[in-house]
Chain A
């Protein structure tokens, strides 16, 4: 069974600081993908970053980077230089069907 765990229901970060959002997963698939999405209060799901299980390097997309530790089955999202607009729910997802974690609510403090 696929399972995604996000242990931080809520996080606070000072503007311009970096923050790490945790995600662990459980899978028996030999090859898989991991995703992070942002969901602002409007409800839309915004794709942030993707990591393939066989990718040699950690994925980066602008201020977003993914700290992928395959042996630990973790795929933590790092947001650098936080901005007020980063305040939102963040979801980690896994697999072809995109099973989502429970999400982390991030609040950026001015």
Chain B
């Protein structure tokens, strides 16, 4: 199956710093990428939908200025957590899908962010 990578897999940062998480589709061109957030033992919460070359669509309640999403190419989307705070600590997962196979979505392995 298709492969989606995320980098870094784990990151620890201090409050007030910004952290960038990369999501790459390694063997296909992803027209759409999604970013999710997952709290321990909870479900995945969709944060935003990202289409290549256009602005991301954020879900209600997600701060656009806090979570900056850039989808610069068909194989790369980035999520930047700006001025990270301890409450931003979470598991962030990205996913990507083909245009031609719209029902299939491939998930990255996730990034665990800890803000101290």
- Point out residues on A near B: beta carbons under 8 Å: 33, 35, 37, 42-45, 47, 50, 52, 91, 96-103, 105
What 7 A-B pairs have minimum CB-CB distances, sorted nearest first? A45-B107, A43-B110, A33-B103, A100-B44, A102-B43, A100-B43, A44-B109
Q: What's the A-B contact tally at a CB cutoff of 8 Å?
A: 48
Say yes or no: B43 contacts A98, CB within 8 Å.
no
Say yes or no: A50 contacts B49, CB within 8 Å.
no
Q: Which of B19-63 contact A (CB under 8 A)?
A: 34, 36, 41-46, 49
Instruction: Output the residue of A33, A44, A52, A98 with the most chain B CB within 10 A.
Output: A98
Q: Which of B42-89 contact A (CB under 8 A)?
A: 42-46, 49
Task: Give chain B nearest CB distance to A8 CB in angstroms.
Answer: 13
- Point out residues on B near A: beta carbons under 8 Å: 1, 34, 36, 41-46, 49, 91, 93, 95, 102-107, 109-110, 112
